[in-house]
């Protein structure tokens, strides 16, 4: 699949897919990489070293700093794939240097799929 | 987006890793919003300053930037901090909170940012000119500079404003372009506005109605800059209004196309209903004025009202350090302190941890504060004009 580069870089890993938007501030613990938002489809799961797939971001703009914190604490996702990356996530992945593409038909990616992300070219491949 | 040769070099890392990353952020945001190029900015105001808002992730990011020698290229001011940076002990701000807040301020200072902490930079030495491109963050400051001064800024997030300060440019889109500054709805005001809180409730009501549109007001006969500050702040809080025009009062009103727009009317009934909706509490245990930060005129009004009297409950008036200094020279701070009140600098009730300081009901005359206090600070709100609020405590 071909999308738009938000933040360059390459990554490969297991997909963790959220059908719901993710708000990083108050949504994911920057120290552990575990989803902490009550009632979120990914609650209790860990995003570390995975390819995190979700439609778009939501919530506080401090979320950008949480994405940066995840990476700095070595518990961040290996890459991010969105339907539409809005500015909170875009800001976070660029500051953190996490590869990210958007404008991808994310319904085609299933939890546990092995995904190769070439964000330099905006390419997503399911193995 | 078109980039100059110099800008390409920044993107290739010739000015270092920090610049590369921050510049990439600006380019990407420009692409998302359809900017054609970068434009130089005259000044920046950075949000995301209070430890209460940005927490450990924000603090660590800022310290990391400072340790990598990131330096701002233009005059850069800060949004209010979570406490009075000098007298925090006196007002009872928690010590562990203060420690983190001071670490944040230190990181900003290392980057060459003026450690000001105010939502009214234009009253404290950061005044843009008409049509100057700037990158400001705080929503009421954005509204004031766009609407009252006629400078041009989008509402920046903390990191994008910091990137603009360090790179000296911002992507050219949105409110930087004249075609996007045209009014999109007409608001006919058919009620007399006396107190600043009247402007606050008008703004709160209109913001709810128009959301992120650009209102063109008619029927506001006169308003000073304190009242325009109150109006814009409330509209930015209840809606997402970043620019408004007022017939015969604001600089771009005559130039804008205001014919043939859908229109709404605000009369006595609407203003009264806004007052009622903003009131969620009964008796305040603290009154906090100065949202956005008080001007010297607003502090002088409070000093006049409490001169030689005793307040039953604490009354704070929040302002910038610069204005507090001027008020000190005029003796206003002493008059207010003798009555039992405080002139608090560098912070405001919305970003400070007042809920941790034992307050449950706050009296305010600001539509913006009344909008945010229930959610951000778990406060019930008494919304009234300054006379009723202060006289209630005498």
**Spatial contact of B189 and B198, defined as CB atoms under 8 Å apart:** no
Cβ burial, residue B369 (10 Å; 0-12/13-18/19+)? buried
Query: How high is the ipTM of this complex?
Result: 0.74
Q: Which CATH class is domain B5-178?
A: alpha beta
And the tokens for B149?
Answer: 């001064």
**Spatial contact of B287 and B373, defined as CB atoms under 8 Å apart:** no
Distance CA(B147)–CA(B278), nearest Å, equals 25
Classify B287 as helix, strand or coil: strand
**Spatial contact of B303 and B332, defined as CB atoms under 8 Å apart:** yes
Where are the domains positioned within chain B?
A: 5-178, 182-276, 279-391
Interface contacts A/B by beta carbons within 8 Å: 65
**pLDDT per position in chain B (394 positions), as tens?**
999 999 999 999 999 999 999 999 999 899 888 999 999 999 999 988 999 888 888 999 999 999 999 999 999 999 999 999 999 999 888 999 999 999 999 999 999 999 989 999 999 999 999 999 999 999 999 999 999 999 999 988 889 999 999 999 999 999 999 999 999 999 999 999 999 999 999 999 999 999 889 999 999 999 999 999 999 999 999 988 999 999 999 999 999 988 999 999 999 999 999 999 999 999 999 999 999 999 999 999 999 999 999 999 999 999 999 999 999 999 999 999 999 999 999 998 787 888 888 999 999 999 999 998 988 888 999 999 999 999 999 9
Please state which of the four CATH numbers 3.50.30.10, 3.40.50.10420, 3.30.499.10, 3.30.450.40 is assigned to the domain occupying A4-126. 3.50.30.10
Which stretches of chain A score pLDDT less than 50?
none
CA distance B202 to chain A (A): 27
CA distance B221 to chain A (A): 38
Which residue in chain A has the smallest CA separation from B22? A95
Question: Which of B25, B54, B64 is facing A62, going by the closest CB pair?
Answer: B54
Q: Does any CB of chain A come closer than 8 Å to the CB of residue B21?
A: yes
Question: Which of A25, A72, A97 is facing B60, going by the closest CB pair?
Answer: A72
Q: Does any CB of chain B come closer than 8 Å to the CB of residue A64?
A: yes
**Tokens 């930079």 appear where?**
B121
For A:14-43, CB contacts with B below 8 A are 25, 30
Looking at residue A113, its pLDDT comes to: 97
Please state which of the four CATH numbers 3.30.930.10, 1.10.10.10, 3.40.50.2000, 3.30.499.10 is assigned to the domain occupying B279-391. 3.30.499.10
**Spatial contact of B115 and B109, defined as CB atoms under 8 Å apart:** yes
């Amino acid at each position: 699949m071909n999308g738009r580069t938000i933040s360059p870089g390459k990554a490969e890993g297991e997909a963790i897919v959220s059908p719901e938007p993710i708000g990083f501030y108050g949504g994911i613990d920057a120290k552990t990489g575990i989803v902490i938002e009550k009632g979120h489809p990914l609650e209790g799961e860990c995003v570390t070293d995975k390819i995190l797939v979700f439609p778009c971001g939501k919530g506080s703009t401090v979320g950008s700093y949480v994405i940066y914190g995840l990476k700095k604490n070595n518990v961040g996702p290996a890459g991010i794939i969105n339907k539409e990356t809005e500015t909170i996530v875009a800001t976070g992945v660029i500051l953190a240097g996490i590869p990210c593409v958007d404008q991808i038909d994310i319904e085609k990616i299933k939890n546990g799929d092995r995904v190769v992300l070439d964000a330099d070219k905006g390419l997503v491949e399911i193995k | 987006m078109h980039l100059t040769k110099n800008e390409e070099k920044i993107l290739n890392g010739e000015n270092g890793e920090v610049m590369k990353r921050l510049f990439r952020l600006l380019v990407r945001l420009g692409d998302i919003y359809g900017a054609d190029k970068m434009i130089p900015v005259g000044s920046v105001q950075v949000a995301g300053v209070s430890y209460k808002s940005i927490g450990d992730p924000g603090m660590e990011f800022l310290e990391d930037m400072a340790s990598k020698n990131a330096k701002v290229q233009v005059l850069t001011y800060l949004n209010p901090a979570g406490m009075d940076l000098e007298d925090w002990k006196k007002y009872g701000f928690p010590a562990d909170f203060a420690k983190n807040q001071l670490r944040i301020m230190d990181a900003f200072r290392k980057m060459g940012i003026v450690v000001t902490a105010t939502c009214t930079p234009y009253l404290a030495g950061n005044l843009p000119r008409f049509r100057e491109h700037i990158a400001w963050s705080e929503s009421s400051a954005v509204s004031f500079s766009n609407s009252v001064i006629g400078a041009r800024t989008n509402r920046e997030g903390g990191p994008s404003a910091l990137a603009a300060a360090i790179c000296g440019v911002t992507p050219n889109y949105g409110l930087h372009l004249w075609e996007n500054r045209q009014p999109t709805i007409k608001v006919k005001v058919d009620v007399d506005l006396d107190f600043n809180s009247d402007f606050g409730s008008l703004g709160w009501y209109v913001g709810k109605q128009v959301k992120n549109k650009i209102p063109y007001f008619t029927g506001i006969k006169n308003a000073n800059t304190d009242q325009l500050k109150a109006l814009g702040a409330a509209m930015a809080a209840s809606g997402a209004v970043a620019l408004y025009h007022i017939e015969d009062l604001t600089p771009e009103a005559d130039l804008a196309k205001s014919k043939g727009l859908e229109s709404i009317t605000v009369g006595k009934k609407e203003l009264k209903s806004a007052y009622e909706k903003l009131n969620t509490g009964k008796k305040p245990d603290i009154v906090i004025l100065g949202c956005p930060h008080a001007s010297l005129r607003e502090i002088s009004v409070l000093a006049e009202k409490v001169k030689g009297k005793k307040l039953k409950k604490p009354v704070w008036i929040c302002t910038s350090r610069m204005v507090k200094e001027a008020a000190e020279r005029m003796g206003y701070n002493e008059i207010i302190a003798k009555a039992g009140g405080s002139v608090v600098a560098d912070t405001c009730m919305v970003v400070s941890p007042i809920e941790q300081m034992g307050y449950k009901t706050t009296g305010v005359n600001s539509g913006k504060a009344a909008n945010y206090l229930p959610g951000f600070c778990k406060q019930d709100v008494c919304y009234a004009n300054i006379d009723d609020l202060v006289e209630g405590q005498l």
